[in-house]
Amino acid sequence: MRKETVYEIIAIALICLFVYTGLSKLINFSTFNFQLGQSPYVNHIANFVSWSIPTAELITTLLLVFKRTRLVGFYLSFALMFLFTGYIYLMLHYSYFLPCSCGGILASMSWKQHLYFDAFFTFLSLFGILVPGPMLKIPKTVLS
């Protein structure tokens, strides 16, 4: 399989993930906001987080759609997924209460399954950053 094809498949997988999760959070905003307010780690900034996460997910989607901005989208998706994975790890290992602020199919996962799911997409995002290597060409005018 060619690098370009792998790059496209990874981008499509992340686009699907972020469109689904971003829109799900906005459609069920009051529930998402309420559940974040119950989290021991983000309850004091729940209103900010409840708007910023779906916004960041949808902006990431837009960046991943266009080839010119895709690498930036991969970096942003890696950052988001790394934060989500870290948050779930903290919740699993150090929280006294595990409120679920995810919607749709993700809400039916256990916290441990969700950790593995997020870790998979974190590595997929990282792979999207690393795959292009030689695909990205620097114009000669920049080098001179």
Concatenated DSSP letters for 18-85? HHHHHHHHHHTHHHHHHHHHT-TTTGGGHHHHHHHHHHHHHHHHHHHHSGGGHHHHHHHHHHHHHHHH
Identity of the amino acid at 126: L
pLDDT tens-place string over residues 57-99: 999 999 999 999 999 999 999 999 999 999 999 988 887 777 6
Q: What is the pLDDT of residue 143?
A: 46
DSSP annotation string for 117-142? HHHHHHHHHHHHHHS-GGGS---HHH
Residue spans per domain, the chain: 3-143
pLDDT tens-place string over residues 27-58: 999 988 998 888 888 889 999 999 999 999 99
CA distance 114 to 10: 19
Whole-number Cα distances in Å, 114 to 33, 85, 120, 132? 19, 8, 10, 28
More confident residue, 142 or 67: 67
What's the residue count for the chain? 144
Structure token digits, residue 62: 């837009």
**pTM as predicted:** 0.85
